[in-house]
Amino acid sequence: MFRKSIAFILLMITALSVFPSAAGGSIADLQYKQQQIEKQISEFRKQADALKGQKKTVQQELDILDGEIRALNLEADSYELEKQEIAMKIAESEQKIDELNTEIENNNEILEERLRVMYENGSSGYMEVVLNSENIVDALTRMDMIQLIVKSDVDLLKSITEQKAEIEELKLSQETERLELTAVINNLAAKQNEVTVASRSKESYMSSIQSDINEIQRQQAEMDAQSAKIEKAILEAQRAVEYAGGEMAWPVPGNYRITSPFGGRYDPISGVWSQHGGVDIAAPYGSSIVSTNDGVVIFAGWHYSYGNYIIVDHGGGIATLYAHSSRLLASKGQAVSRGETIALIGSTGYSTGNHLHFEVRVNGVRVQPMDYLK
């Protein structure tokens, strides 16, 4: 969506690039071109703000993903340690099994040797031991010894068999646990990879957004510069226009009381002696303020001292300023006629009551207004 908007804006810039950036054409043409550029600048700012909002959202998502990655890494580390512990236990079990297998092999060799001897001698082996007894007590003792030997062999074999079965069971259990743990670690690795891919995708998207923002700001700077050039061209064109001619009309019809003249005076608010750059004309709130001659509005807005004010250019380097208005009725770039209402009396800005502060400026220098007023 934003890509399309940016493409549209860039297309508009291309179209606007055909406008002259220096003097040339009528004032109205230049003002129209400036208005179009200012509209595009406003659109740029809206798009940049929207992209910055998206960038902030993506950054928040990246922070969440980073937290998930850290948590997954810690979890994976704990599972890895558990896996190592199980592997060590399995290794110990395998070593124990090897030792027991060695014992079993030794005992089997002893038993096999015994069985081989018994097989070769038949049942006479044990009988000879008994018959060679010196007496009945010796014979009984030898029989007990034979029984103990046989029982010991049987018990040993049984014990080894049971231990081997127990260790095999433990080994199987541990192997199963290790396989399960490996599956968990693989799942964690897959999840971690998924989050990492998402994070990189977000970073790429953020980089793209930042690139768009940079491009918008670059184009906006170019249009600001172009607007400034057109503004300069407008001023030059206005200076080139001859003065509308004649004396200026009174700016507040029906109200002629001057409460503060042009020149030195004591400031009504601070009481400090200062230069007053215009004349103050008292009038009721809401009274009409008119343009003193034909011209073009070159400023309409706010100033902390003037309050709501308008400047009208009359050509020939002559301009008039109307300050402290309660309401502005004309806008920048508007052509106005002699006697046309452009604002209403008020007391905005640095003011002690309802009045018009009126100035005449010649090439930017404030002069005595009464020299121009009818």
The DSSP-derived string for 213-272 is: HHHHHHHHHHHHHHHHHHHHHHHHHHHHSPP--SPBPPSSTT---EEE-SEEEE-TTT--
Answer whether 358's CB lies under 8 Å from 369's CB.
yes
Q: Output the CA–CA distances (angstroms, integers) from residue 350 to 192, 304, 330, in the order listed.
A: 64, 7, 22
Round to whole Å and give the CA distance between 25 and 239: 14
Q: Identify the CA nearest to 311 among candidates 289, 332, 286.
A: 332
Answer whether 240's CB lies under 8 Å from 316's CB.
no
Is pLDDT at 125 greater than 60 in this prediction?
no
Residue type, 220: Q
HEC states along 298-338?
EEEEEECCCEEEEEEECCCCEEEEEEEECEECCCCCCEECC
Our measurement of the distance from residue 373's CA atom to the centroid of its chain's CA atoms, rounded to an integer in Å, reads: 58
- List pLDDT tens digits, range 209-249: 788 878 877 877 787 777 777 667 766 666 666 676 678 99
The stretch 248-257 carries a mean pLDDT of 94
- List pLDDT tens digits, range 317-362: 889 999 999 999 999 889 999 999 999 999 998 888 999 999 999 8
Helix pair angle (27-121, 124-131), 10° resolution:
60
Q: Which two tokens stand for residue 328?
A: 């502005």
Q: Which two tokens stand for residue 250?
A: 């009174």
Cross-strand pairs, 336: 295
Q: Identify the CA nearest to 242 among candidates 292, 312, 296, 315.
A: 315
Strand locations in the chain (E): 258-260, 263-266, 273-276, 279-282, 288-290, 295-303, 307-313, 318-325, 327-328, 335-336, 341-344, 355-362, 365-367
pLDDT band at 16 (very low <50, low <70, confident <90, very high): very low
Q: Output the CA–CA distances (angstroms, integers) from residue 96 to 84, 85, 154, 172, in the order listed.
A: 18, 17, 22, 15
Lowest mean pLDDT among 99-113, 141-155, 246-260: 141-155
Is pLDDT at 94 greater than 80 in this prediction?
no
122: alpha, beta or left? (left if phi > 0; alpha if psi -120 to 50): left
> Structure pTM?
0.42
Q: Give the DSSP H or E segment for 99.
A: helix 27-121
Q: Which residue has the higher pLDDT, 104 or 67?
A: 67
The stretch 4-13 carries a mean pLDDT of 40
The stretch 129-147 carries a mean pLDDT of 60
Share of residues in the chain with pLDDT > 90 (%): 20
Round to whole Å and give the CA distance between 75 and 276: 77
